[in-house]
Homo-oligomer: A and B are copies of this chain.
Amino acid sequence: MSAGPRPGGRAPVEGAVTLGIDVGGTKILGIALDGAGRVRAQAKAATPRWIPPEPTADHGGEVVVDAVGGVADELLAALGSEASAVARVGVGVPGLVDGAGVLRYAPNLPGGEGLDVVGRLAERLGPRRVVVGNDATCAGLGEWTMGAASGATDAVIVTLGTGIGGGLVVGGKVAGGAHGFAGEIGHMVVDPSGPSCPCGKRGCWERFASGSGLGRLAREAAHAGRLDAVLRRRGGDPEAVRAEDVTSAAAAGDAGARVVLDELGWWLALGLANLANILDPSVFVLGGGLSGSLALVLEPVRTAFDSLVEGGRGRPEVTICLAALGERAGAVGAGLLAAGGDRALGLTA
């Protein structure tokens, strides 16, 4: 009955080429996706930084709309004579977009709140049809349709970067929630007396298990004298220690760095266990900017997960694996969304 994506198959993109553009906190990645699910062109740009003195939709909107438009232009140029047949553009944005296509909450796009994303992009990219969704939900749609969650009726795609985003597949459908806001798993509070989060709360999961969480755990370990080798390379200043210092030291065999990665793994497993208790997925797919470091923590995560999930080893095994589409997952999913991959999620103009 549904024309939506079927897990396990190739992308059910109808008609000609569709553009998918993933707006991240640091970069904008666009692809042109053909009807067989092949990436025909790719373009990148830095996400413009704007912190207006008094944030307004007009002010913040223009720079991002221009940047997304620039990426779309580059993709269309690469497509040559096929460009005129591109009728749909999907865009994933890091925030909550309401039913009218307005960005309601976007801590990683300062000044972006209140922006009429669909309206402004439709002006810039028209007459093409523009569909906007949450970036992590797009990544989930991509991994479920063409990646590591193919074939699952219940899956959670976790994007680990500066923060943590989520794409949920529930009962064979991508879950958008009542208002399209589902999947904000990084702001699940796991320790109400924990560190402050930019969202205004304390102890959100992403304060512990994301890239910035790893940096915080690393600096705590450095202060406590548990990361001496790393600390020496940073001139002895614990506040100068970064997440990537820990992953590279751990890869080189540094025992203290491995302990910090195990801590990251424990916090990651804690949130996954919470999600397993709530949603009972058969698979967790881990992706995002931190995924390069995740191979090192996958085993500690699996062990801690078994000890933290309700029913433990009495449950059927839950697969915890790395994303298959890499950094393209969000853009691929945005393209699928625009192609009609999941109408329930899309806000169109």
Binding site for B on A (CB under 8 A): 1, 96, 98, 104-105, 113, 152-154, 166, 168, 170-171, 173, 175-185, 187-193, 199-201, 270, 273-275, 277-282, 308, 310-312, 314-316, 344
Tell me the bound Cα distance from A315 to B192 in angstroms: 22
Tell me the bound Cα distance from A315 to B98 in angstroms: 8
Among A179, A278, A308, chain B packs the most CB atoms within 10 A around the CB of A278
A-B contact pairs, 8 of them (CB 8 A): A1-B1, A105-B311, A173-B173, A178-B281, A179-B280, A184-B280, A190-B192, A191-B193
**CB nearest to A114 among chain B residues:** B314
Among A98, A170, A193, chain B packs the most CB atoms within 10 A around the CB of A170
Given A176-B171, A189-B190, A311-B96, residue A278 in contact with residue B316 (CB < 8 A): no
Tell me the bound Cα distance from A316 to B344 in angstroms: 17
Nearest Cβ distance between residue A338 and chain B, in whole angstroms? 20
A113 surroundings in chain B (CB, below 8 A): 314
Tell me the bound Cα distance from A343 to B37 in angstroms: 33
- Cross-chain contact A96 with B281 (CB below 8 angstroms): no
Tell me the bound Cα distance from A316 to B176 in angstroms: 14
- Cross-chain contact A316 with B190 (CB below 8 angstroms): no
- Cross-chain contact A277 with B104 (CB below 8 angstroms): no
Tell me the bound Cα distance from A96 to B191 in angstroms: 26
- Cross-chain contact B187 with A277 (CB below 8 angstroms): yes
- Cross-chain contact A185 with B277 (CB below 8 angstroms): yes
A201 surroundings in chain B (CB, below 8 A): 308
A315 surroundings in chain B (CB, below 8 A): 96, 104-105, 179, 181
- From B171, B180, B185, A175 is in contact (CB under 8 Å) with B171
- Cross-chain contact A278 with B184 (CB below 8 angstroms): yes
A191 surroundings in chain B (CB, below 8 A): 190-193
Tell me the bound Cα distance from A171 to B183 in angstroms: 13
**CB nearest to A177 among chain B residues:** B280
- From B152, B199, B279, B282, A310 is in contact (CB under 8 Å) with B199
Given A104-B314, A177-B154, A344-B171, residue A278 in contact with residue B1 (CB < 8 A): no
Tell me the bound Cα distance from A98 to B314 in angstroms: 10
- From B104, B274, B278, B279, A311 is in contact (CB under 8 Å) with B104
A184 surroundings in chain B (CB, below 8 A): 277-278, 280, 310
A280 surroundings in chain B (CB, below 8 A): 176-184
Nearest Cβ distance between residue A307 and chain B, in whole angstroms? 8
Tell me the bound Cα distance from A344 to B315 in angstroms: 18
**CB nearest to A153 among chain B residues:** B178
**CB nearest to A174 among chain B residues:** B171
- Cross-chain contact A170 with B181 (CB below 8 angstroms): no
- Cross-chain contact A166 with B278 (CB below 8 angstroms): yes
A316 surroundings in chain B (CB, below 8 A): 98, 178-179
- Cross-chain contact A189 with B279 (CB below 8 angstroms): no
Nearest Cβ distance between residue A200 and chain B, in whole angstroms? 8
Nearest Cβ distance between residue A180 and chain B, in whole angstroms? 7
- Cross-chain contact B279 with A182 (CB below 8 angstroms): yes
Given A199-B310, A308-B201, residue A277 in contact with residue B188 (CB < 8 A): yes
A180 surroundings in chain B (CB, below 8 A): 280
